[in-house]
Homo-oligomer: A and B are copies of this chain.
Amino acid sequence: MTDPIRPTDADAISLAQDLLAKARWASLGTLGDDGHPMVTRIGFACLAGTLVSLVSDLSAHSTALRRDARCALMVGEVAARGDPLNQPRLSLKARAQFISRDSAEHGEMAALYLSDHPKARLYIGFTDFSFLRFDILSAALNGGFGKAYLLTREDLARSP
């Protein structure tokens, strides 16, 4: 069987970084209490290289991540035109870390997040909303038909 994975090059890294930088939403993969996967939608931002989301404590994904931090993200939404299977998307394996509301990190995230997600102003102050930081473990880029790449955390952090 042919290896479908191409060698990672500068174009692949640039495309992956661009998908992360532009993403405002993500499909989040978590593990339910029975170990079964779940997929839900979250708000998402890449703030000065840090991947974050703002989530409700009442959501199933928050419950799942407080039990098991292992998660996955897919960014790169379906565009209005063209074939979505030929449109680029980035799948990440990550670990999620809840950020304490009392920390300096929370305050910094809130300011940056609101610049990307002005509508989050409606609930960012609610005590049952928390910031998550995602620490990347590895990534798989699908740049369209026949354009599959595996990227490391270091690839995604590389300067252009």
Closest B residue by C-beta to A40: B91
Cβ–Cβ < 8 Å partners of A137 in chain B: 36
Given A58-B1, A58-B2, A93-B32: A74 in contact with B39 (beta carbons within 8 A): yes
Q: Which of A12-20, A82-90, A102-110, A151-159 contacts B (4 or more CB under 8 A)?
A: A82-90
Could you say how many copies of this chain the assembly holds? 2
Residue contact B43 to A39, C-beta cutoff 8 Å: no
Query: Smallest Cβ distance from A33 to chain B, in angstroms?
Result: 12
Query: Smallest Cβ distance from A90 to chain B, in angstroms?
Result: 10
Contact of A39 among B2, B32, B70, B72 (CB under 8 A): B72
If A2-B58, A27-B27, A37-B72 are given as contacts, then 11 extra A-B residue pairs at C-beta distance below 8 Å, sorted by A number, are A4-B56, A4-B58, A27-B39, A29-B38, A36-B70, A36-B137, A39-B39, A39-B74, A39-B91, A60-B140, A77-B78
Contact of A36 among B40, B57, B59, B93 (CB under 8 A): B93
Asked if A130 is an interface residue, CB under 8 A from chain B, the answer is no
Closest B residue by C-beta to A86: B119
Cβ–Cβ < 8 Å partners of A1 in chain B: 57-58, 128
